[in-house]
Amino acid sequence: MADYYKILGVDKNASDDEIKKAFRKLAHKYHPDKKDGDEKKFKEINQAYQVLSDKTKRQQYDQFGQNFEQAGAEQGFGGFSAQGGPSSGWDFSGFQGFGGGQEGFGGFSSKGGRGSGWEDIFSDIFGGNESEIRQKAGRDIQTDIEISFEEMVRGIKKELKLYKSAVCPVCQGTGGEPGAKEETCPECKGSGQIKKTVRSFFGTFTQASVCPICRGKGKIFSKKCHKCGGDGRIKEYATIQVNIPAGIQNGQTISLAGQGEAGELGAPAGDLYITIHVKPHEKFNRENDDIISSEEITFSQAALGDKIEVETIGEKLRMKIPSGTQSGEIFRIKGKGIPHLGGRGQGDHLVKIIVKVPKRLSREQKRLIKELGETEK
How far is the C-alpha of 354 from the C-alpha of 295, rounded, in Å?
A: 6
Given pLDDT bands bounded at 50, 70 and 90, which one contains residue 297?
very high
Beta bridge partners of 108: 105
The answer to whether the CB of 253 falls within 8 A of the CB of 196 is: no
Residue bearing the bigger pLDDT, 358 or 337: 337
**Tens digit of pLDDT for each residue in 53-74?**
888 888 888 887 766 655 554 4
Instruction: List, for residues 364-376, the tens digit of each pLDDT value.
Output: 877 877 776 666 6
Please tell me the pTM assigned to this model. Answer: 0.58
- Nearest Cα residue to 213 out of 253, 175, 165, 261: 175
Report which residue type is found at 159.
E
Amino acid at the residue 365:
Q
What is the CATH code for 141-278?
2.10.230.10
Give the start-to-end residue ranges of the domains of the chain.
4-120, 141-278, 285-376
**For the range 2-5, what are the long-range contacts, defined as Cβ-Cβ under 8 Å and sequence gap of 24 or more?**
2/44, 2/48, 2/66, 4/47, 4/48, 4/51, 4/52, 4/61, 4/66, 5/48, 5/52
Q: What CATH code would you report for 4-120?
A: 1.10.287.110
pLDDT for position 129: 43
For the stretch 194-218, pLDDT in tens is 888 777 665 677 778 888 888 888 8
- Cβ neighbours of 65 (radius 10 Å): 13
Fold of 285-376: HSP40/DNAj peptide-binding domain (2.60.260)
Rounded to 5 degrees, what are φ and ψ at 24? -60, -40
Q: Which of 52, 82, 76, 78 is nearest to 65 (CA)?
A: 52
Percent of the chain with pLDDT over 70: 78
pLDDT of residue 56: 84
CA pair distance 64, 286, nearest whole angstrom: 51
Query: Looking at residue 135, what is its pLDDT?
Result: 62
Q: How far apart are CA 236 and CA 162, in angstroms?
A: 8
